[in-house]
Amino acid sequence: MEPLIRLENIKKNYYLGKNVLQVLKGINLSVYPNEYVALMGPSGSGKSTLMNILGCLDTPTEGRYFLNGQDVSHMDDDALAAVRNKQIGFVFQQFNLLPRLNALENVAMPLIYSGVSKKEREEKARAMLEKVGLGERWNHRPNELSGGQCQRVAIARALVNDPAIILADEPTGNLDSKTSIEIMDIFAQIHASGNTVILVTHEEDIAEHAHRIIRLRDGIIESDRQNEKIRQLAT
């Protein structure tokens, strides 16, 4: 099986005057279709920078990134935006919902950029809201929803374009423990339905939901292991 994601010697530098800050120092990584990966690391480890590269929000200084067989390492912004819209669904800690739009309109937003008709946008958005248990709240704006409900809307929005990859950045960071478990149950269902899930988190209990845990430190991969608890449950 070919990897969905393949990183070859990825380096990322930032230039501060004459000084060079090396954030990623040669990352080699493959992620296969329908994997469930947690990406962890302390502040300054490079995990946020790596997440931005994986999500085609940034490009590496050196190295090559193949996404679904396509080299996206040095694409321009417009090309990267097209790749993101078709292949990657994002879920953020802060939800990033548009406050003046209701849940249905927020979920349908990515489909506008894909040229989907209004009728089909609404049908797909309703189906995604049903999938995350918010079908009856479709006409509520973000300020009329709880934090957990806002995150469900954000997950529905991430799914609406049928992306291969769901990239979640600290998706439970603003939620209480009970709601966090409910959100992680939704991610488990997403993975079970065939999506590749990459979860960025600093919380050990959240990372333990993933099947594979990758830890970064000082810009390199410190460890990459299968989650034995999940493996034992599967067998």
How far, in Å, CA of 19 to CA of 76, rounded?
25
pLDDT of residue 231: 62
Q: Which CATH architecture has domain 35-48+86-234?
A: 3-Layer(aba) Sandwich (3.40)
Contact between 102 and 141 (Cβ < 8 Å): yes
How far, in Å, CA of 142 to CA of 56, rounded?
27
State which residues of the chain have pLDDT below 70: 231-235
pLDDT of residue 230: 72
Can you give the pTM of this predicted structure? Answer: 0.92
**94-110 core/surface letters (b: 16 or more CB in 10 A; e: else):** ebebeeeebbbbbbbbb
For the chain, give every domain's residue range: 35-48+86-234
pLDDT of residue 83: 92
